[in-house]
Amino acid sequence: MKTAFLYRFIVYSLLFIVLVPLLAIYQTPFASVVLAQDLPTLGGVAVNVEINDSDVQAGDIISATRDGFKRSTQEYDVLVFGVVVNAPILSVEPRTDTSRPVISSGETLVRVSTAGGEIAEGDLITTSSEAGVGIKATRSGYVIGKALQGYTDSGQVGLISVLVGPSFGSGAGAGAGIGSLIGIAVNPENSRYVLAALLGIIVAIGATVAFIRLISTGVTAVGRNPLAKGSIYRSMFIAGVIIAVLATIGVAAIVAIISLGGS
């Protein structure tokens, strides 16, 4: 189930990067034009995805989770995917009773609040702890896009026009920079990816250095004692196997960390 979802997520992402511009230009037959009057989308192409959230509505920010696509519930969510819309200019993938069109690039209306401060035109908008609702980004982190209009109503959630484009952005305020990256790293949901990345770097560097030293030492030993090259080669082979085993253990640990809590 998780493998199938990860496959679909990768396919959707590649579809936006490679195929969507071609669909928009040439209007190919396997794309369906969706016309409607509510919550217009002024640009971009939507993908119809299955959203495992019965309370989802147009303007909600969507993220990829272990259980499928759901409304975002974490601030600066690294897995933010897009925004639910009702009237995309163009949509791809078959539409079903349980799927909703989601846009990851273009201008549309997004549900926001002032929980992160009053929003001004040009502010970056990120995800929040309130399901599907965006807030002003006050530090560096993953954002859903840039506000094209302000919002100051502190009493309720409202809709504003946002230029959608999930990416890593530098938010306003003194918290931007290294401190904000630390904040992202200590997020329980994000920290496992950071830890896996660090472990991957350590494994790659360690294996590379060990292999280079093994070759260098072996060549030097053979040059000094050609008559013992047979035993030297055997020792090099054994050392190489040990390095490969340790590297494999490291890769397995990385996979385990990423999959932590996935059951």
Please tell me what DSSP assigns to residue 122.
Answer: T
Task: Specify the higher pLDDT residue, 5 or 127.
Answer: 127
Q: Tell me, what DSSP letter sits at residue 198?
A: H
Burial of 24 (0-12, 13-18, 19+ CB in 10 A): middle
Q: Return the number of other C-beta atoms located less than 10 Å from residue 81's C-beta.
A: 25
**194 pLDDT exceeds 70?**
yes
Q: Quick check: 27 pLDDT over 60?
A: no
Cα-atom radius of gyration of the chain, to the nearest Å?
Answer: 24
Q: How far is CA 204 from CA 134, 210, 253, 259, in A?
A: 38, 10, 13, 20
Q: Which residues pair with 108 in a beta bridge?
A: 162
How would you classify the pairing of strands 99-103 and 46-50? antiparallel
**Structural domains in the chain (count):** 2
CATH code of the domain in which 243 resides: 1.20.20
Write the CATH number for 134: 2.40.300.10
Please give the distance of CA 263 from its chain centroid, rounded to a whole number: 20
8 and 124 share a domain?
yes
Q: Write out the residue range of the structural domain in which residue 200 sits.
A: 189-258
- What is the C-alpha to C-alpha distance for residues 163 and 147, in angstroms, rounded to an integer? 6
Burial 158-179 (b: 16+ CB within 10 A, else e): bebbbbbbbeebebbeeebeee
Residue 242 confidence (pLDDT) above 50: yes
With respect to residue 263, please indicate whether it lies within any of the assigned structural domains: no
Measured distance CA(80)–CA(47) in Å, rounded: 15
Residues 197 and 98 both lie in one domain = no
Per residue in 216-241, pLDDT (tens digit) is 887 788 788 888 878 878 888 888 88
Task: Please tell me the distance from the alpha carbon of residue 30 to that of residue 34, in angstroms, as a whole number.
Answer: 13
Are residues 57 and 108 located together in one domain of the fold? yes
Q: What is the pLDDT of residues 78-122, one digit of tens each?
A: 999 999 998 777 777 777 777 899 998 889 999 999 999 999 999
